[in-house]
Amino acid sequence: MKNSKKGFTLIELLIVIALLGALAVGLLAALDPFEQLKKGDDTGVRNTVSETQGAIIRYYAIKNFMPWSGVSSIGPVDMLTGFSTLNMQSVIDSGELKSDFSTLAGAGQLAKINVIGTDQSVTVCFKPTSKSFRSDPNTKYDISGIEGCTDTPSDPAFSCYWCVR
């Protein structure tokens, strides 16, 4: 009978560990966790933008005037310092937004939103940070909600906005 030891040699184990390490590095590079975090952030802000725009439109349908009634045109308004303090409560009182909308959405998301409105229309926008939202066909507006931004999504000075009209 032969006396043979069963198992792997040190070289075989090192090769397997090196291959697994290379696969792990390749997977991390492909997934780009920071980009995924930015994409998740942008998705949350986009949902807040859509909900805000829908609530203002529903408010207009019920009241037949915008929450900022009497103002013929407003520029970009920070949700926290402009729209929320002046008009958010009237939209909440009408039942179109939950009473804790500001808390649920979060101050960080609301600060990224621009509300541009006239007596009969509203455009709500945000500036995306993720590559996928920068490349989205709806990211074509300037800060005042006017279509025509032509910045390249890969440019660090990218200044186009994603808007709902």
In a domain, 17, yes or no: no
Q: Residue 3 domain-assigned?
A: no
Domain count, the chain: 1
- 32: in domain: no
CB-CB neighbours of 133 under 10 Å: 22
Q: Is residue 19 part of a domain?
A: no
Task: Give the count of beta carbons closer than 10 Å to the beta carbon of residue 83.
Answer: 25
- Does the predicted model carry a pTM greater than 0.75? no
Indicate whether 97 belongs to any domain.
Answer: yes
pLDDT in tens, 134-160: 888 888 888 888 888 888 877 777 888
Instruction: Look at residue 7 and tell me if it is in a domain.
Output: no
**What range does the domain containing 49 cover?**
38-164
Domain contains 136: yes
Q: Give me the pLDDT at residue 4, please.
A: 67
